[in-house]
Structure 1
Amino acid sequence: MRNFVAGGLSAAAALLAGASAQAAQPAEWEMNFQPAATDIMHQITWFEHYTLWFIVPITLLVLFLLAYCIIKFRASVNPVASRTSHNTLIEVIWTVGPVLVLLFMAVPSFQLLTAQYSPPEEAKLTVKATANQWNWDYEYQTEDLLSFNSAVLTDADRAGLGKEDTGVYPRLLAVDNEMVVPVNTMVRVLVTASDVIHAFAMPAFGLKTDAVPGRTNETWFKVEKEGIYYGQCSELCGKDHAYMPIAIRVVSQAQYDTWFAAAKADLPGANKALMAEIGSSNKVAVAGK
């Protein structure tokens, strides 16, 4: 019995470690948003729950009124139709009621919109994301410029890149080279495109910005926890639109500094070293519970 319990605890710990490694990605039959990884996404999640307190009662009320009218005023019960043309009280209610509802929804909506366009602090890192059909170019706007391409991970490349675990690197979402950023750091993203209109979207960050040729749009995020986060191009951009994922790996500041220093000379080697360090850290976490 003890062995069974110990085995169960170990499996649970491994599952938690794996979950922290893969972070947020789409799940089957998912009805809610992905777990929030930024303050903006927490606000979006709150606003969604808040609006449901209005949407659900209104939907049920309309359904009740429709059913009531269908049953009470059916032809078999009322062979002579009512000639009522208006009712002042009802007209006041259905005018004032929606105005109040819209007011209660508009105020937090404008507050959220303002927060999305008002970073609370200056960015410590700027990355330019250029969309192509059908991949992304990332340029780190630092003194020592680092740039690389990020494309969907093919099955043939999994073994060579050490990304055979489809739980952490899911099909059609994983990429060959992730954008790497430090945790709890304000990151500015300059979004543009080289050909047609795309969109840079990361659900766990509450982030979606159009990538328009000839124009640079600016967005930002500050991630609260480490892990890999997956998004996709969210603007129809051609035949391979569904094969244009976005992957952002969030690591500690020390891990980021080490990766960045190595990536300038050897990006594949830096990625493998970072993955090995993260893997060893997860094993230590599981062993130590």
Structure 2
Amino acid sequence: MANHMQFSFQDASSPIMEELMQFHDHALMVALAICSLVLYLLTLMLTGKLTANTVDAQAIELVWTILPAMVLIALALPSLRILYLMDEVNEPDLTLKAIGHQWYWTYEYTDFKNLTFDSYMTPTTDLPMGHFRLLEVDHRVIVPTESTVRVIVTANDVLHSWAVPSLGVKTDAIPGRLNQTSFVASRPGVYYGQCSEICGANHSFMPIVVEATPLANFENWSSLMSS
């Protein structure tokens, strides 16, 4: 959960989010190195140490051709690796279907019979003390920790987007189309997200709450809900 005036990422609660944060730091360091090099060259030009003869040198032309190519490769390789990791869903332990509506979510646990519910934002007037305004819902998504959860995302009316930053997932919900993503919750906790695609007047009022719990607790909850 983000804190007030927090400008950094939320704490990573899944392996893929940890990968994304590491790539962010890697890309930031590359950008910092490029800016430092450009400032250094500008300083040389302003002080007259970089002469016209230096600019016309064949060696310099070779360097400013090869160096950008190496920088692009250094960015592309880890980026492609993360893209493949995010798209790969092998033998999930649990499949969850999220259907976007104006302006709530419907969840179906396809591995269980009769385990379907709607999730609406809890009105401010009904919000218990200590809960988050505009982020709490009446029915949370419950998932087991250390398990691969596949989320199939679609919509019933207009474009929506199912996003939970701490888990590193964001997938568009498109009417007539099934998109999928997956995540592994590393530890128990409650993770908040919101619809991340403008979908109408109440776009800001369809939050997502995922509660990760140990497997034994999840089994008890699923048995109770599907009975």
Same fold, TM-score > 0.5, yes or no? yes
Distance apart, 1:72 and its partner CA: 4.4
Aligned to 2:77: 107
Match of 1:242 among 182, 193, 204: 204
- 1:42 paired to 2:18: yes
Aligned to 1:33: 9
Distance apart, 1:95 and its partner CA: 1.4
Greater mean deviation of Cα atoms: 225-234 or 239-248: 239-248
Greater mean deviation of Cα atoms: 200-209 or 139-148: 139-148
- 1:202 paired to 2:202: no
For 2:103 and 2:58, locate their aligned partners in 1 and report how far apart those are by CA, in whole Å. 58
Which structure: larger Rg? 1
Structure-2 change in CA distance of 1:143 and 1:247 (3 Å): closer
Distance apart, 1:145 and its partner CA: 2.3
For 2:175 and 2:43, locate their aligned partners in 1 and report how far apart those are by CA, in whole Å. 51
Structure 2 SS opposite 1:35 = coil
- 1:94 paired to 2:64: yes
For 2:158 and 2:57, locate their aligned partners in 1 and report how far apart those are by CA, in whole Å. 54
Count of residue pairs brought into register by the alignment: 224
Structure-2 change in CA distance of 1:68 and 1:190 (3 Å): same
Q: TM-score with structure 2 length normalisation?
A: 0.90
The unaligned stretches of length 5 or more in structure 2 are none
Q: Give the helix-richer structure, 1 or 2.
A: 1
Structure 2 SS opposite 1:129 = strand
Match of 1:117 among 71, 87, 94: 87
Distance apart, 1:86 and its partner CA: 4.8
| Paired residues for 1:112-191 under 5 Å | 112-119=82-89, 121-158=90-127, 163-165=128-130, 169-191=131-153
Using the aligned pairs only, state the percent identity.
Answer: 38
Q: TM-score with structure 1 length normalisation?
A: 0.72
Check whether the contact 2:140–2:211 (CA below 8 A) recurs between aligned residues. yes
Distance apart, 1:222 and its partner CA: 1.1
Structure-2 change in CA distance of 1:145 and 1:124 (3 Å): farther
Q: Provide runs of 4+ in structure 1 moved above 6 Å.
A: none
Report the residue type matching 1:229 in the other structure: Y
Structure 2 SS opposite 1:250 = strand
For 1:55 and 1:85, locate their aligned partners in 2 and report how far apart those are by CA, in whole Å. 23
Structure 2 SS opposite 1:200 = strand
Report the residue type matching 1:176 in the other structure: D
Computed over aligned residues only, the root mean square deviation of the Cα atoms, in angstroms, reads 2.1
Structure 1 SS opposite 2:12 = coil
Report the residue type matching 1:115 in the other structure: L
Distance apart, 1:52 and its partner CA: 2.2
Distance apart, 1:244 and its partner CA: 1.8
Distance apart, 1:188 and its partner CA: 1.0
Q: Give the strand-richer structure, 1 or 2.
A: 2
Structure 1 SS opposite 2:198 = coil
Report the residue type matching 1:219 in the other structure: T
